[in-house]
Each structure stands twice: as structure tokens, then as C-alpha cells.
């Protein structure tokens, strides 16, 4: 079956540091890939997505590139802010028996200090 | 446009009590989902409804039932709550098209404690 593996957290950074959160996946078909963000006390919300190989998703200074050859979708940001402190989930969506059931990673907590 | 709404936001139950978690979406989405989130476990799918009138089990359905009341509403029922059901519950919805590229929209969550 499909699976998503994320680096374990927490990731602790100082403000303005560079961020990379690794995500790799296994899928039987041609999935779409997503990064969701969960701020404290809230539900998940879409951060960015990519729907085919070599696509780059970007939003709020975050980027991720769909790498089919390495089955990866790593999240990057050049300069993090305290307000980026949250839990980040990598996910994929693939067709299984006619239903698109998303598969999520376990989440990576990011803590940014001033 | 409220998106996905959930009620209640917080609930404390005693073991053996029953309750229903309500979820509604106003985006005319076909698919709806119930997840639970536990520390270190990420999101686990309890039940989903691909379209109005259909429901299917997810990864952790034991102890839960669901009802897709209409296109807007998808409720989750705990018939006899157990401490192992202490968790944060999220409802989500999604447009179902011909591709896998549509994202999910999540509600704010219900924080449930079973004593």
C-alpha cells in the first residue's frame, strides 16, 4: 500500500535559519503530493501541492519539488520566522479502488526561536 | 463561507457514555472524512464517505459509527466511549473529480477526553 515517511521532530531552529523537512513516499500509481500545516490548536490547512513529476509547489516562502526518481517531496524555506512554528504533514493522494484516500505522514514539529 | 465546521469543540465523557460529533461543510464537496490525531501517531482515518449515501471503514473504525446525513453533514458516533478514544477528532471534506490532485479541507477539531 501507499505510505509516507517524514523526518521525526521536533526540528528546532533560530529565526532566519534555513529549513528542510524530508519526505519520501511509496505509491503504486501516480499520486499528487501535498504539504499541510497545523498551527497550535487548529486543524490542518494546505500549504502547497504538486500534481506531477518535476512540479514545484510554493506558498508563503515554502517550496517543495516532486521528485519521482527519488520518490521525495522535501519541504524547504530559506529563512524561517517564529510564526512558522507549527506541525507539518506530508501527504499523498492516489486512486485506490476508485476512491482517493489520502495517506499522511506522522507530522514534523517545527519550533523557531527568536 | 464557513468551510468545515465541527461541534462541539471540547467534550469530556465518562467511560460507557455515548455521544455524536457533528461535522458540516458548505463547499458542496462530495467526499468527507473523519480522522483522529494522537501524539506521535499522526492522522488516522476512522471512516470516510466518498459520496452522499456511501460510507466506508478506514484504518481504525472499531468503536465508531458514522452517518452521512446529506451532502453537507457527516456525523461520528461513539456508542460506548472508552479511555482509548481520548483524542482530537478532525473532519475533512474534498472535491472528488477525475484526478487525485484536490486537497482536503479540515475543520478545527473536537478535543475529546474519556475518563
Is the predicted pLDDT of residue A112 greater than 90, yes or no? yes
Is the predicted pLDDT of residue B98 greater than 70, yes or no? no
**pLDDT at residue A56, rounded to an integer:** 97
Residue of B43, B46, B54, B97 to mutate for A, most A C-beta atoms under 10 A: B43
Q: Is the dihedral of CA A78, A108, B60, B25 positive or negative?
A: negative
- Which of B103, B105, B107 is opposite residue A49, by nearest beta carbon? B103
Q: Which residues of B touch A51 (CB under 8 A)?
A: 99-101
Cα distances (Å, whole numbers) of residue B22 to A60, B34, B68: 32, 10, 11
- Which of B42, B48, B96 is opposite residue A89, by nearest beta carbon? B42
Look at strands B110-114 and B10-13 and give their pairing.
parallel
B95 pLDDT band (50/70/90 cuts)?
confident
Query: What is the distance between the alpha carbons of residues A38 and A41, in angstroms, rounded to a whole number?
Result: 8
Strand partners of residue B10: B111
Query: What is the distance between the alpha carbons of residues B84 and A63, in angstroms, rounded to a whole number?
Result: 37
Per-residue pLDDT tens digits for B36-85: 999 888 899 999 998 888 999 999 999 999 999 899 999 999 999 999 99
Per-residue pLDDT tens digits for B75-91: 999 999 999 999 999 99
Amino acid at each position: 500500500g501507499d505510505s509516507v515517511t517524514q523526518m521525526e521532530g521536533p526540528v528546532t531552529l533560530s529565526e532566519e535559519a534555513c529549513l528542510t523537512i524530508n519526505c519520501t513516499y511509496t505509491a503504486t500509481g501516480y499520486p499528487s503530493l501535498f504539504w499541510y500545516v497545523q498551527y497550535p490548536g487548529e486543524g490542518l490547512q494546505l500549504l502547497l501541492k504538486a500534481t506531477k513529476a518535476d512540479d514545484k509547489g510554493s506558498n508563503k516562502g515554502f517550496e517543495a519539488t516532486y521528485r519521482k526518481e527519488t520518490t521525495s517531496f522535501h519541504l524547504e524555506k530559506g529563512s524561517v520566522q517564529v510564526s512558522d512554528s507549527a506541525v507539518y504533514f506530508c501527504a499523498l493522494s492516489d486512486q485506490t479502488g476508485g476512491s482517493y484516500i489520502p495517506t499522511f505522514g506522522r507530522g514534523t514539529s517545527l519550533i523557531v526561536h527568536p | 463561507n464557513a468551510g468545515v465546521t465541527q461541534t462541539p469543540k471540547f467534550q469530556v465523557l465518562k467511560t460507557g457514555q455515548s455521544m455524536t460529533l457533528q461535522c458540516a461543510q458548505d463547499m458542496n464537496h462530495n467526499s468527507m472524512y473523519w480522522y483522529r490525531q494522537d501524539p506521535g501517531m499522526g492522522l488516522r482515518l476512522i471512516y470516510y464517505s466518498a459520496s452522499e449515501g456511501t460510507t466506508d471503514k478506514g484504518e481504525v473504525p472499531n468503536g465508531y459509527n458514522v452517518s452521512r446525513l446529506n451532502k453537507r453533514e457527516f456525523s461520528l458516533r461513539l456508542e460506548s466511549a472508552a479511555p482509548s478514544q481520548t483524542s482530537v477528532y478532525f473532519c475533512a471534506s474534498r472535491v472528488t473529480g477525475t484526478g487525485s490532485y484536490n486537497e482536503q479541507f479540515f475543520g478545527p477539531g473536537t478535543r475529546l477526553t474519556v475518563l
